[in-house]
Structure formats: C-alpha cells, structure tokens
A and B are shown apart, each in its own frame.
Chain A
Amino acid sequence: MTEATIDMTTTAVLKANTATSGGREEFAHTISGTIGKPYLDGKDAKFFCRGVNVFYAGEKQAIFDVNMDIGRNEVISMIGPSGCGKSTFLRCLNRMNDTIAGCRVTGDIKLDGEDIHDKEQDPVLLRARVGMVFQKPNPFPKSIYDNVAYGPRLHGLASNRAELDDIVEQSLTKAGLFKEVKDRLQAPGTGLSGGQQQRLCIARTIAVSPEVILMDEPTSALDPIATATIEELIDELRASFTICIVTHSMQQAARISQRTAYFHMGYLVELNDTKTVFTNPQHQLTENYITGRFG
C-alpha cells in the first residue's frame, strides 16, 4: 500500500520532470535560491530557517537547503506536488522528525532567536510551544474532556480542577466545538464526526497555549462543510497564533493564507505573498503547478 503510493509519487515526479526540465540535476540548476520574498525583517520573524536539509534513513535526502522566515501571527501555507517534502519540512519545525528512526536534520532553525536544535533546547518544551495538527484526525481513545486536558495535564498547566475545566472550556470554545459537545464532555472523543474530531484535535493543541500551530493537510480527510468550518477557525486563530499549514488545495491556500511557499522535489522554489503566487508566479515550476499542468 505505502509502496504503491510512493511508486505513484515517483512516477508523478518523473513526469513532472520531463514536462519541465529533465532530470533532477538539470532542474536543481534552474533554482539559484528561492524566488520571491522568503525573508522577513528580523523582528517580524517567528521562525528563522537557513540551510535546512533533511535526510531519511539511508541518506535519502528529502529537503534541500531551504531558507525562509515565518512571520508572527501570519498564516503561511505550503503547497507543492505530493512527495515534495512539505510534511517533512513542517515536521522540522517542532522536531517531530526526531521520532523517526534514521531521520537527520541539518541547518539552522531558530524560534524567537533560539536555535531549536541547541543542546539546551528541549523537544518536549519546543512541542508545547509549537503544536501540531495532523492530516487524519487522531483523537486519543479518551473522553472529549480528557483529550483536551491531555496537554495541560502533561505540562502541569493547571493547578486545580477549576483551572483545568476553564482551559478545556476555552480551548473548545476557541475551536468552535464547545457548543456542540458541552453536554457530553465525558463521551469518547472517537465518537465525534470527522470534522468535529479535527476541531477537537485543534482544541487539544491550543489547550497548551502554543505560539505556533503546524497543520499538515488538516482538512484533506474532511467533507467540504467541515472544511469550511475549519478554514474559518484558522482565520480566527491567526489573532493569537502563528499558523503554518500544508495543503494540497490551492483554493484553500489562497483563501486563508497571507504568504504561500511552493515546494518542488525538496526545494523551496518560490515564497511570496499569496496573491502574488497565485496571480503572478515568478518561477516556471510554480506556474506549472498552479495552472494545473501537474500536481
């Protein structure tokens, strides 16, 4: 199954290559640094990434020398053909790649000026600050309440039950779920609908008051109505969080993000204001992608 998918991606990528500029070597040559505006003013940048490379087991390189900044309280979307390394790059930002055996990340990633790979830095703390929402809703096999209380309990964020109740209620409210579930907080989280489950996962993530929320195709498993709800939610959350969202839907990127990054075969090809990317792409590869020549 997985093998089959990978196979499909490779063929897709190969096709993409022949459509544009031949083999990887030749294609890599066409990118001399990222086109657009990958960098922000020092004080505006929440994340600062320079020369990021990611290798999977067996020295298989998935990310090549990515340089970019992610701004405070912005929604940045990452698009690109599947297998181009969007998820891989996103997972660098909270060191989720550490949990994959044989995966190695090099380069500089700073969060508020602190190197996240520093010896002093703790992945547990980092992940409390940089939360993550996944493609498939993955509530824990616990009650709705316990799902949301999971993080605060782990990190000792509430000193008593009342505080915890408060955090849970606020998080659920922010995630736009409270009204729907307030009568059944003790019901299992797995019993909710797909869209509700994903909002529960978002509530769970914001319950620890992170500074950044990473979302990896959060709506790809949901129906259009649930997707719309989540998109609205993301727009509201922008006020309090920095949000990086990987999406396979260009419309979604256009609707919700301020800046958009286009990845291709592990390279960050173009990063610019969303409007520019979709109306006036600078790179041929970006244009090919958004005009639907492949993807």
Chain B
Amino acid sequence: MSTLGILLTLMLLAAFSYYIGRKRSLALATPAKRDGNDLHSLPSYYGYLVVVWAVIPALLVFALWSTLETPLLTSNMRSHLPAEYQDKSADELSLTTNRVLNLARDPAQLATADPIFKAAAEDYLQMQSMSQTIKTILVLALAIAGVFIGLRHVKPKTRARNQVERVVQFIMIGCASIAILTTVGIVFSVLIESYRFFGQVPATEFLFGTHWSPQTALRADQAGSSGSFGAVPLFVGTLLISAIALLIAVPLGLMSAIYLSEYAGPKLRAYAKPAMEILAGIPTVVYGFFAALTVAPFIRTLGEAMGLSVASESALAAGLVMGIMIIPFMSSLSDDVINAVPQSMRDGSYGMGATKSETIKQVILPAALPGIVGAFLLAASRAIGETMIVVMAAGLAANMTINPLEAVTTVTVQIVTLLTGDQEFDSAKTLAAFALGLSLFIVTLILNVVALHIVRKYREQYD
C-alpha cells in the first residue's frame, strides 16, 4: 500500500474507533440515580481514548520506519555491491551509491544501465517494495490491535479525559520542541559536513586565505586535492554589499519610522504604512530581478556617463537594492522601539520648551538607542544572509576589493553556486558550501542572539 493509502486507512480507522469507543462507553454506563450516568468522563473522551490507542503507536512506527527505511536500504545495497567497488575510497563509493539510487528512481535509465549497477538497482527496488509491504502490514496490524486494546480500556471508572488530555499535552510538547530539533538539525548538518571539509582543507586556509577558486578543484589526475578555498574575499564582498545596504536602509528606515511615529498625521500614516508593508512583502527574487535587469545597467550607464568604469554586476547595484529591501524591516523595527519610549519622556521635553526635533534627537533617540542598536544588528544579519538579490545581481568572481563599482561575490552566492551546479557529493567543492553555511550561521546567530537580548532588555526597561 502506498504511503498515502496507509495514512488514509489510518484516518478511517481513527473515525471508526472514535465511533465505537463512544458507543461502547454509553452501552457500559449504568444510569445513576438522577440525571447522567456513572461514567468518569464524557462519552466522547472514551472515543478519543480508543483513537489514541489505534493511531498513535501505528503512526510512531510508521514515522520511524519511513525515516530509517532509505538510509538502511541504501547501506544494505552498498554492502551487496561487488567487492571491487567496496574497496574504493569513501568518495567513490558514495558516488557509486548515488548512481545506483538514480537508476532505481528512473526506470528509463535502468533499462540501458551497466549490468552490475542494474543488478544493484533492481535489488534495491525489490528490497524497497518488500520493506513497504512489511511496513503496511505492521502499521495496520498495530492499529487494529490498538483498537482492541483501546476498547478494553473503555470502562466507567477509566479516567478517559485525564488520559486523553495527557496525550494531547505530549503532542503539543512535541510540536513545540520542533523548534529545538530544527536548530539541532541545522547545527548538525552544517557541522558534520564542515568537519569533513576541514579534514581536506585546513581551517586556517579557509579563514585567512585570500584566494578563492573552487571551480578549478578536482582535476582528473589529482582526485581529492582541491582548488583554493581562501574565503576572505567572500567575507569582504559580503561585508561590502551589506555595508552599502545598511548605509541606505538604516538612515532611511530610521527617519521614516521617526516621521511616521512622531510627525505624520493619521492620513499619511494610513497610506505610508501599507506602502512600507508592500515593500516588505515583495519576494527577494523580485528585488534580484530588479537589481540585475534595471538598477545594475542604470548604474553602469550613469557611471560611464561620468567617466567611471563600472562592472556590470557592481556591488553598488546589489547593495542599493538590498538596502531598499531592508528599509521597511528597519523602519518597522525602529517604529516599535520608538513607540516603546514612554510618553512621559516626550512630555518632559516639550514641557521644557524643546521643539519636536530637539525632543527626538536629544531625548527619544538616546532613550531608544539600545533598541535601535538591536534593530541595526537584526538588519545587518538580514543583509548578510540575503541570498537572491546577490545571486542575481552580484558576481561570481572572488575579487578582494572595497570599491563598490567593481563586482564582488558573497558567501551566499558561493553557497548557491557550489550546490546548484553538478554536484559530486563529498568533494571539497561541495563541502565548502557547508563550511560557508557554518560561518554564515555562526555570524547571524551571534547577531540575532545579541540583538534579541538587547531588544528584550530594552523593552523590560519601559514595561
């Protein structure tokens, strides 16, 4: 039975269990003296209790089996490969594995494949269908057994409501814990691959090397050895573009927020705020398109008219558009922060005879400073991690420059480039993407944690 089929069957079974569980509880109930009966809980809770018994164990087994199925089947297939393949290096073995898996997924290729691989792939497919059959039988058997066990628990004195509520709580805790699991997953995925990367390329070269050209990696005669992985030009490029973006977004966003919260009448606010929200809601791929096809050529033409030589993928174009993208982000964060400054502070200043701008500059902004710093850090984290705008509008060449008219590349651009080309897994080139991802994650994590901490402390101060 297919995955969807199993899930649908379970759903039907759940509905059925609820129905009979409820019915059974009513049948068992002995009417008490006045109204009601001697059931501990409402009949529907007995229904839910049976559903829990029927579905939860079955679903758990189903999920566990589905998660482990592919890794186990793959390693099983690998161990059945002829010895000469198994003796090869880990890299090549995984290459072979991938090839077999691809064959197994694509029947068209399978027909014309190398017999050894074909055999392996067919073996894999056979094991897979067997696994699916066992899974189906096991899950459905568990579910049906669950219904019976559940029904045996339907007795007037069973504390059905408490038991069901306990299960519901556990499910909710599980859902909330996904946030932790996600973080663990991120750390796990970037750390493991980065560890393997740093096995091939020394960390010092990566962190301090000034030459980046992964494309020349893996020449035919020197398998395993790599091109250059000095990431400094990437870091510089990322910082350059982010700096340009922040140079635009921070003053414009902050001033917009100030104007909107301190000066603007309700009418302007009613139009300007949604406009800012639209700006914030535009997908980054759209900004990227705008940067690459409109802004970059415009800047180039403008620069040439002024006698400057401007690269067609200048850092300025990408940074400028990224800045526009971050304006509403900065503005709404600052708006929150400025509104958190208590009115009494403003009154105090106006009462002294300060003008509005004097109040803003000398009282509100100093009072809001921690919050604004937090907003700045979040904006910086956003700029550093932004991908689509730079992928589309910044270059690939790792130039080490701080001239905004030249083309630079960034960490995110290189991650995308390294992982969307033809990948050989486990090559230094592919692993480098994870090392870059690790640096990106660490930097943005620090920025976020510090920023969120500052902002929270700031809010508590005025609560």
Contacts and interface: CB of A to CB of B under 8 A. Distances in A.
B366 A142 contact: yes
A208 B352 contact: yes
A186 to B, nearest CB: 15
Nearest to A140: B363
A127 B348 contact: no
A154 B358 contact: yes
A140 B353 contact: no
B349 A140 contact: yes
A132 B351 contact: yes
B344 interface: yes
Contacts of B348: 134, 138-140, 201, 204
A76 B393 CA distance: 70
A94 interface: yes
A70 B108 CA distance: 99
A141 B363 CA distance: 7
A124 interface: yes
A205 interface: yes
Given A140-B366, A141-B367, A150-B362, A127 B352 contact: yes
A242 to B, nearest CB: 16
Interface in B351-390: 351-355, 358, 362-363, 366-367
B346 A99 contact: yes
Interface in A108-166: 123-128, 131-134, 136, 138-142, 150-151, 154-155
A154 B354 contact: yes
B345 interface: yes
A181 interface: no
A139 B265 CA distance: 28
Contacts of B362: 140, 150, 154
Interface in B392-413: none
Contacts of A28: none
B347 A124 contact: no
Contact of A134 (B347, B353, B358, B367): B347
A127 B348 CA distance: 11
Interface string B315-352: 00000000000000000000000000010111111111
B360 to A, nearest CB: 13
Contact of B351 (A101, A131, A136, A142): A131
A141 B346 CA distance: 12
Nearest to A139: B348
User: Which secondary structure dominates chain B's binding surface?
Assistant: helix
Given A124-B355, A150-B362, A154-B358, A138 B350 contact: no
A133 B352 CA distance: 9
Given A140-B345, A140-B367, A141-B366, A96 B350 contact: yes
B352 A205 contact: yes
Contacts of B363: 140-141
A127 B351 contact: yes
Contacts of B358: 154
Query: Quick one: which of A125, A141, A142, A205 has the most chain B CB within 10 A?
Result: A141
Contacts of B355: 124
Contacts of A155: 353
Query: Quick one: which of B342, B344, B347, B358 has the most chain A CB within 10 A?
Result: B347
Contacts of A204: 348, 352
Contact of B350 (A99, A133, A140, A142): A99
B457 to A, nearest CB: 14
A190 B344 CA distance: 13
B344 A134 contact: yes
A126 B353 CA distance: 7
Nearest to A136: B344
Interface string A29-70: 000000000000000000000000000000000000000000
A134 B352 contact: no
A126 to B, nearest CB: 8
A150 to B, nearest CB: 6
Given A140-B366, A140-B367, A141-B367, A131 B352 contact: yes
A20 B302 CA distance: 79
A165 to B, nearest CB: 19
A138 B345 CA distance: 6
Contact of A151 (B265, B347, B352, B366): B352
Contact of B353 (A101, A125, A138, A139): A125
Nearest to B341: A141
A207 to B, nearest CB: 9
B366 A138 contact: no
Contact of A99 (B266, B347, B352, B367): B347
A140 B359 CA distance: 10
B380 to A, nearest CB: 24
A34 B282 CA distance: 63
B263 to A, nearest CB: 11
A99 B358 CA distance: 14
A127 B353 contact: yes
B367 A208 contact: no
A62 to B, nearest CB: 17
Nearest to A123: B353
A127 B367 contact: no
A44 B344 CA distance: 33
B344 A208 contact: no
A138 B352 contact: no
Contacts of B265: 101
Contacts of B346: 99
Nearest to B345: A138
A96 B351 CA distance: 7
Contacts of B342: 138
A128 B344 contact: no
Contacts of B345: 138, 140-141
5 contacts: A125-B353, A128-B352, A131-B351, A141-B367, A150-B354
Given A140-B345, A140-B362, A154-B354, 14 more contacts: A101-B266, A125-B353, A127-B350, A127-B353, A132-B347, A132-B351, A138-B342, A138-B345, A140-B349, A141-B366, A150-B352, A154-B362, A155-B353, A208-B353
The 10 closest A-B pairs by CB, nearest first: A127-B353, A132-B351, A128-B353, A138-B344, A138-B348, A141-B367, A151-B352, A124-B353, A140-B363, A99-B350
Interface of B: 265-266, 342, 344-355, 358, 362-363, 366-367
Interface of A: 94, 96, 99, 101, 123-128, 131-134, 136, 138-142, 150-151, 154-155, 201, 204-205, 208
